[in-house]
Amino acid sequence: MSAKTARQKWLPALPILDWGRRYNQDKLTGDLLAAVIVTLMLIPQSLAYAMLAGLPPEVGLYTSIAPLVLYAIFGSSRVLAVGPVAVVSLMTATAIGDHAVAGSQAYWAIAITLAFLSGAMLFIMGILRLGFLANFLSHPVISGFISAAGLLIAAGQLKILLGVSYMGVTANGDNFFAQMASLAQQIPHIHALTFTVGTLTLIFLLSIRIGLKPLLTRLGMSPKTATTLARIGPVVAIVATIFLTYIFQWQTQGLKIVGSIPQGLPPFSMPLWDLSLWKELALPALLISIVGFVESISVGQTLAAKKRQRIEPDQELVALGASNLSASFTGGFPVTGGFARSVVNFDAGARTPAAGVFTAIGIALAALFLTPMLFYLPQATLSATIIIAVLSLVDFSILKKTWRYSKSDFAAAIITLLVTLIINVEIGLLVGISVSLALYLYRTSRPHIATVGMVPGTEHFRNVLRHDVLVSPKLVSLRVDGSLYFANVRALEDSVNEAVATHPQLQHLVLQCSAINDVDASALESLEAINQRLSDAGIALHLSEVKGPVMDKLQQTDFLRDLSGQIFLTHYQAIHELVPEIQR
Amino acid sequence: MSAKTARQKWLPALPILDWGRRYNQDKLTGDLLAAVIVTLMLIPQSLAYAMLAGLPPEVGLYTSIAPLVLYAIFGSSRVLAVGPVAVVSLMTATAIGDHAVAGSQAYWAIAITLAFLSGAMLFIMGILRLGFLANFLSHPVISGFISAAGLLIAAGQLKILLGVSYMGVTANGDNFFAQMASLAQQIPHIHALTFTVGTLTLIFLLSIRIGLKPLLTRLGMSPKTATTLARIGPVVAIVATIFLTYIFQWQTQGLKIVGSIPQGLPPFSMPLWDLSLWKELALPALLISIVGFVESISVGQTLAAKKRQRIEPDQELVALGASNLSASFTGGFPVTGGFARSVVNFDAGARTPAAGVFTAIGIALAALFLTPMLFYLPQATLSATIIIAVLSLVDFSILKKTWRYSKSDFAAAIITLLVTLIINVEIGLLVGISVSLALYLYRTSRPHIATVGMVPGTEHFRNVLRHDVLVSPKLVSLRVDGSLYFANVRALEDSVNEAVATHPQLQHLVLQCSAINDVDASALESLEAINQRLSDAGIALHLSEVKGPVMDKLQQTDFLRDLSGQIFLTHYQAIHELVPEIQR
């Protein structure tokens, strides 16, 4: 029994054994319908995000097959739809940009290696149960980062939409403001036909998103079905622009098209076994892993909660790790769970991860048979679909909200946003994490320490600065509102020193410990030093209202033995005994 | 008035104006006596620590003049004695070792630049009131670091003592274990005369430290005076070995001596204005500043408290900054407040910082007139004084203490100790700080969250796992023991998800907020998400016992408006109203 438990703890679980055993006709119907709709949504997204990552479009299709199957085996979410997503694709482009030219074979090989490293990291983090690491990415940092990434992506795609740049040469990693400036300079060189096709697609997609849903709802369709239908808008845009380009042969007039895409299933691929490359890719791979994990788990949790289900963060790491590893062996780039896609999967009635397997089959069929039809697909159409998709990422409401609620959260959000826009996604994320941790540590390093006095006629004690309370020149009571640890214990020393310096007749100092949940070794040493210093100055140090667990810990130490004063159960007892002249 | 306050806030204070105005004959006597004793102690230390830093001995004297005067003007401690100290000298040697050969002019110029950078950083940190930064250095990290530095220093000096190496060629920055191994290899090459002089000095100093004090005390001397006299032991050793070397002309038999030292006051010097050098020295200079500041402030606070005085951390930064800047303009290297020296100064009766000025005059006289007499001083004698001085730094009791008290503090101490020994002081300190912060963040990211139930017959609630309490399948009560912030709010989400998944009949979830002192923006968003998810699943979220300041903050948000449940003043009211069938 215990051997089995140990094995269960160290080996990744296989949720498929759970839901697979209870699979039935009813679930099959729901999964199949959802898979058809997600496949229709995923085909244009795969092509577009491959392009955004600087890779040939077919790589997008390759990346949407094996990872889905692996997620179905290991994933703990019933409805999460994995595959290429916008932010991770941008991060991929940024990570590879310094090493190879977008569109080249070398670039693709590095993308495969990045998927391998990211997959290996996620898998190992899952096995070691390090899912908690993602907790150190605060909401303001994530929001600032995602908004900035959305703006960076839109800026890059705008160039393709205007016909001043094209697939594979978009500088995704650039400074946002520099990109906008160069865009402004290039306005005279806009390619009219590309601009027309791109802009009309954009308007069409926007009006579908804004207008179709209310229209369908008014025609009596359920809001969920209407939303799902609106999500397939890009397929219509793609079919229409392919058809028009074919009819009018617009590519002869300079419209950039996708061109010939190799037909067939994903190739077997291997990461580059190059340690120096691995070292350079390690940090980007880690950041991609963490961002992908956070994105995936937040949508997974939201959807699971709607059906009173749970997802297991460490199991999700294993599943995303396996997905990315499978991507690296089938010519793919980093993947994660996509928000819009998973919501559509959920709304369309997916019941089990089998829907992901059916979607993978759908994409495989597309890779086998559909690619010749994509020859005439204008790149501007794909750019328009990307721009529409990332517009929903850009959301400055966090700035307004945190500005009102908490200035330090606001600082974390705005710094992440600006550094990501001005430098790049990697530095932006790292600076954001550092700033949010630094601000948290700064806050905890200044605990609230109040000098308290007795409320007349009661046994209660309150801050002397806020209330009219009884005090004595012989005794000072200090209350620390927080646990004591190395970074905040100096604040206590300062308060004690100040109390001593301002009370020449001081004989007793009482620490009211009711809010102290923990005392670390540094704080213990400081308490010993405070006790020693007070004792040298002829002042006794007393403690009151020490919590049980803290008392247990202190009892193993010399501090209590050397304590010059006493320990009181209640603060009132301390005052009553030490300065009986203060009457309540 | 407010203009004056603002000026007082931004301009560094001049404590000298305070104590200088009330200076009198009585204080003069105390200060003069203390200055004579500290000067006698500081002369050998200055020479020895300059040697340890890889600099010519006279530089040690130069470094003990201007900085003392500047500290007397700006410092807030009455008795802190600044000058070269062991650990900072080792850090100086490590920082410069990669850039120049010890003993060369270039090396000296870089030492001056290091003092300048360190001084500028301290001064600016003081003006900006960044003294709290030093709080992030925990006691276990400091202890591990200081012990390792002591071992590294002793290992380097042991080579000089054995005559297998000499001043200026000691590899201070090396791996401790590699140093010990090379020492073992060099045992056959020990220089017998050097070994004899060094070892006898060592034994003499040890016996003075161990035996003289009890002896003098037994002869009726006060313990303080006995300690002070024992501290001047090195002067006796120096005079004796100079005399013997002169008589027997031991330098002709291969005993390394200090040799000719230029006679005169410190030269006027300037740091190197080389930005690329500054960049490389920035991190070492920052670490030297922080270590020096922490060492200085801990001794300053200990001594000030004995006389019920206070020192001002930010003012200390300004004073140490000014001291180091003055060192860089008078040919010196980084300085800070020394522990042993300040204790002697205090015990010998120093009353004001004027004692430091008198000490500076004493050292200046030594630099002017005493240096010819130091010609015959054996290097082995200086090494012996350094070894004795640093032995008191090596203290492994922190390991034993933290092992019993707190495993994470133990981890921080042992990692700092080992990395410092194996790599170097800089990496050791950085790793130590990172590990201690990471462990703290890890601890706070897993707050204690208890599911509570009602103690029968009372209005109290306790952990269901520990007590026999009343619960209902319709309601779950969760109590979070700690403030909610981005790194720990996922733990709350997990607990809520688990409660929902394990209670199929759940209708109400009540958060008992009595221990929550703060809710940051991430935690607020998570609470909103929890409320939304619970609401989607038909479960109402309630809050109880929300603290006043937290309530004030939440009231500015939409969370309270959208809350599916209610807010109760006490947890008992919540239970009583929501599941009245649970009777107390």
Q: Rounded mean pLDDT of A282-290?
A: 94
- When pLDDT is cut at 50, 70 and 90, the band that residue A6 belongs to is very low
- When pLDDT is cut at 50, 70 and 90, the band that residue A173 belongs to is low
Most confident of A174-183, B178-187, B533-542: B533-542
pLDDT digit string, tens, across residues B300-327: 877 887 777 778 889 999 999 999 999 9
Q: Which residue of B has its CA nearest to A526?
A: B139
pLDDT digit string, tens, across residues B126-139: 999 888 888 888 88
- When pLDDT is cut at 50, 70 and 90, the band that residue A185 belongs to is confident
What per-residue confidence (pLDDT) applies to A170? 53
- Give the β-pairing of A336-337 and A82-83: antiparallel
pLDDT at A192 over 80: yes
Report the share of chain A in percent with pLDDT over 70: 96
What is the C-alpha separation between A200 and A237, in angstroms, rounded? Answer: 9
pLDDT digit string, tens, across residues B243-262: 999 999 999 998 999 888 89
Report the share of chain B in percent with pLDDT over 90: 45
A353's CB contacts (< 8 A; 6+ apart) are: A15, A16, A19, A71, A72, A73, A75, A77, A78, A80
pLDDT at A555 over 80: yes
What per-residue confidence (pLDDT) applies to A223? 78
What per-residue confidence (pLDDT) applies to A273? 94
pLDDT at B497 over 90: no
Q: Rounded mean pLDDT of B193-207?
A: 92
Q: Rounded mean pLDDT of A504-528?
A: 89
pLDDT at A1 over 50: no
The CA distance from A35 to the nearest CA of chain B, in Å, is 24
Spell out which residues of chain A touch residue B535, defining contact as CB-CB under 8 Å.
none
What per-residue confidence (pLDDT) applies to A307? 76
B34's CB contacts (< 8 A; 6+ apart) are: B344, B345, B346, B348, B349, B350, B355
Choose the weakest-confidence range: A136-145, A308-317, A393-402, B433-442: A308-317
Sign of the C-alpha dihedral computed for residues B296, B298, B301 and B302 taken in this order: negative
Spell out which residues of chain A touch residue B525, defining contact as CB-CB under 8 Å.
139
Out of A132, A497, A521, the one facing B445 most closely (by C-beta) is: A132
What per-residue confidence (pLDDT) applies to B5? 44
What per-residue confidence (pLDDT) applies to B3? 40
* Higher local confidence (pLDDT), A470 or A514: A470
pLDDT digit string, tens, across residues A416-431: 999 999 988 889 999 9
The CA distance from B544 to the nearest CA of chain A, in Å, is 18
- When pLDDT is cut at 50, 70 and 90, the band that residue A467 belongs to is confident
Structure tokens, B175: 């791996």
- State the DSSP H helix or E strand holding residue B510, giving kind and residue range, or none if neither: strand B508-512
Cβ B486–A537 below 8 Å, yes or no? no
What per-residue confidence (pLDDT) applies to B204? 92
pLDDT at B151 over 70: yes
The CA distance from B113 to the nearest CA of chain A, in Å, is 30
Structure tokens, A100: 């190879």
Round the average pLDDT of chain B to a whole number and report it: 88
Which DSSP string do the residues of B374-389 spell out, in sequence order? GTT-BHHHHHHHHHHH
pLDDT digit string, tens, across residues A11-56: 567 888 888 888 888 888 889 988 998 998 899 889 999 999 999 9
Q: Rounded mean pLDDT of A267-284?
A: 94
Choose the weakest-confidence range: A537-546, B205-214, B468-477: B205-214
Spell out which residues of chain A touch residue B409, defining contact as CB-CB under 8 Å.
520-522
pLDDT at B235 over 90: no
pLDDT digit string, tens, across residues B158-176: 888 888 876 655 555 568 8
Out of A481, A488, A521, the one facing B409 most closely (by C-beta) is: A521
pLDDT at B263 over 70: yes
Round the average pLDDT of chain A to a whole number and report it: 88
pLDDT digit string, tens, across residues A308-354: 777 888 999 999 999 999 999 999 999 999 888 888 888 888 888 99
Is residue B299 within 8 A of residue B343, CB to CB? The reply is: yes
pLDDT at B228 over 80: no
Which DSSP string do the residues of A443-492 spell out, in sequence order? HHTS-EEEEEEEPTTSS-EEETTTS--B-BTTEEEEEEES-B-TTTHHHH
The CA distance from A32 to the nearest CA of chain B, in Å, is 25
Spell out which residues of chain A touch residue B498, defining contact as CB-CB under 8 Å.
310
What is the C-alpha separation between B338 and B49, in angstroms, rounded? Answer: 12
Cβ B497–A556 below 8 Å, yes or no? no
pLDDT at B57 over 50: yes
pLDDT at B2 over 90: no
Spell out which residues of chain B touch residue A500, defining contact as CB-CB under 8 Å.
305, 308, 310
Which DSSP string do the residues of A401-446 spell out, in sequence order? HHHHH-HHHHHHHHHHHHHHHHT-HHHHHHHHHHHHHHHHHHHHTS
Task: Return the closest-CA partner of residue A393 out of A101, A38, A87, A125.
Answer: A87
ipTM for the whole complex = 0.79
What per-residue confidence (pLDDT) applies to A66? 96
Cβ B306–A536 below 8 Å, yes or no? yes
pLDDT at B388 over 60: yes
Spell out which residues of chain B touch residue A493, defining contact as CB-CB under 8 Å.
301
Q: Rounded mean pLDDT of B351-380?
A: 92
What is the C-alpha separation between A570 and A4, in angstroms, rounded? Answer: 49
Out of A308, A405, A488, the one facing B557 most closely (by C-beta) is: A405
What is the C-alpha separation between B94 and B429, in angstroms, rounded? Answer: 13
What per-residue confidence (pLDDT) applies to B6? 42
Task: Return the closest-CA partner of residue A138 out of B489, B439, B435, B496.
Answer: B489
What per-residue confidence (pLDDT) applies to A182? 84
Out of A309, A405, A521, the one facing B524 most closely (by C-beta) is: A405
Is residue B201 within 8 A of residue B380, CB to CB? The reply is: yes
SS (H, E, C) B245-288: HHHHCHHHHCCCECCCCCCCCCCCCCCCCCHHHHHHHHHHHHHH
What per-residue confidence (pLDDT) applies to A82? 94
Q: Rounded mean pLDDT of A147-159?
A: 89
Q: Which residue of B has its CA nearest to A136?
A: B487
pLDDT digit string, tens, across residues B406-432: 888 999 999 999 999 998 888 999 999
Burial of B560 (0-12, 13-18, 19+ CB in 10 A): middle
Q: Rounded mean pLDDT of B148-166?
A: 86
* Higher local confidence (pLDDT), A327 or A162: A327
The CA distance from B372 to the nearest CA of chain A, in Å, is 44
Cβ B556–A404 below 8 Å, yes or no? yes
Cβ A525–B486 below 8 Å, yes or no? no
Collapsing DSSP states into helix, strand and coil, what is residue B528?
Answer: helix
The CA distance from A372 to the nearest CA of chain B, in Å, is 44
What's the DSSP call for residue B451? Answer: E
What per-residue confidence (pLDDT) applies to B271? 95
pLDDT at B506 over 80: yes
Q: Which residue of A has its CA nearest to B303?
A: A533
What per-residue confidence (pLDDT) applies to B1? 35
